[in-house]
């Protein structure tokens, strides 16, 4: 389902597209057609000027694919816009290609509605899983079931919580991370939402906030403290929640089949 924009072999350059557009770049017709819209995008800086990631391109490509299935775009228009997505360098340039599509506005509303903390009645007080490392290391990774609340404690040790291949049975997941002279590392798929509230005392507490374009995507909240230690949470590049993609693909396939049966 996901669109891959190029991946380097092991030992090669980092995954993703090169800094330069593909051979041929955008056709002059596309440039002229969207030039005015790009100028409007510049007014929303600095967000519009952020460099686009592979996840951003995947999101726009999914919206275009759905618009094609719904008959909002012709095959020629779809191909033209996909070419533009490949050549776009910033988030603002990407948004231009879906500005006139309703799915883009629904996704934006879903991202704006994502709260900074989970609702009190959604996530239980008691943890579903405790990951503890005292003068040692502990991890949760691979294909495992993530509960609604996970507590991680690293005291002179290291804890790794990797959700990039986990099964999300609940949409909201809270991770409480406490590090004392230790290290807690949290990784999530790049198509979920990630929010953090916490702090460091002579330590580092860092969460790379992320908002998914999918309204049904899981939301991972990270809270806690780093005391002379480190807590870090960020998306893992190239890893996506498969069940979300399967639902989107099934929806597109159903719409395509309906159009073909007419």
Tokens for 64, please give them. 């275009």
Backbone angles phi, psi at 210, to 5 degrees: -145, 135
Name the CA radius of gyration of the chain, rounded: 21
What is the pLDDT at residue 6? 35
Q: In what order do the strands lie in the sheet with 137-140?
A: 137-140, 158-162, 183-189, 230-236, 204-207
Residue 128 has what DSSP assignment? Answer: S
C-beta of residue 81 within 8 angstroms of C-beta of residue 66: no
3-state helix, strand, coil in the chain (%, to 5): 35, 30, 35
State whether the Cα torsion 13-17-22-25 is positive or negative.
negative
| SS3 call for 23 | coil
What is the pLDDT at residue 10? 39
What is the pLDDT at residue 102? 81
Among residues 203, 181, 185, 187, the alpha carbon closest in space to that of 138 is found at 185
Place of tokens 């579903």: 128
pLDDT in tens, the chain (262 residues): 443 333 344 344 444 444 444 444 444 444 334 444 444 444 434 556 778 877 778 878 888 888 888 888 999 999 999 999 988 888 888 888 988 888 766 655 545 445 556 665 667 788 899 999 999 999 999 889 998 999 999 999 999 999 988 888 888 899 999 999 999 999 998 888 888 888 889 999 999 888 877 777 889 999 999 999 999 999 887 666 655 555 555 666 666 676 666 6
What is the pLDDT at residue 90? 87
What is the pLDDT at residue 19? 44
Among residues 165, 189, 159, the alpha carbon closest in space to that of 177 is found at 159
| Dihedral (Cα; 185, 215, 80, 85), 10-degree rounding | -20
* Entry pTM: 0.52
Helices 102-113 and 54-70 sit at what angle, rounded to 10 degrees? 130
C-beta of residue 203 within 8 angstroms of C-beta of residue 228: yes
What is the pLDDT at residue 39? 45
């Amino acid at each position: 389902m996901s669109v891959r924009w190029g991946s380097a072999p092991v030992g090669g350059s980092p995954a993703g597209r090169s800094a330069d557009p593909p051979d041929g770049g955008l056709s002059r017709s596309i440039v002229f057609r969207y030039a005015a819209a790009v100028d409007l995008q510049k007014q929303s800086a600095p967000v519009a000027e952020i460099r686009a990631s592979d996840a951003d391109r995947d999101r726009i490509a999914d919206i275009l694919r759905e618009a094609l299935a719904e008959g909002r775009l012709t095959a020629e228009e779809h191909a033209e816009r996909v070419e533009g997505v490949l050549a776009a360098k910033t988030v603002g340039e990407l948004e231009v290609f879906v500005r006139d599509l309703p799915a883009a506005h629904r996704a934006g509303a879903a991202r704006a509605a994502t709260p900074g903390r989970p609702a009190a009645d959604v996530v239980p007080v008691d943890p579903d899983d405790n990951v503890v490392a005292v003068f040692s290391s502990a991890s949760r990774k691979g294909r495992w079931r993530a509960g609604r609340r996970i507590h991680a404690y690293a005291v002179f040790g290291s804890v790794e919580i990797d959700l990039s291949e986990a099964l999300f049975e609940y949409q909201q997941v809270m991770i409480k991370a406490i590090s004392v002279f230790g290290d807690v590392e949290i990784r999530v798929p790049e198509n979920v939402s990630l929010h953090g509230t916490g702090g460091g005392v002579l330590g580092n507490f860092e969460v790379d906030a992320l908002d998914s374009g999918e309204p049904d995507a899981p939301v991972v909240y990270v809270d806690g403290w780093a005391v002379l230690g480190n807590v870090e949470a960020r998306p893992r590049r190239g890893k996506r929640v498969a069940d979300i993609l399967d639902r989107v693909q099934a929806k597109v396939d159903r719409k395509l089949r309906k159009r073909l049966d007419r």
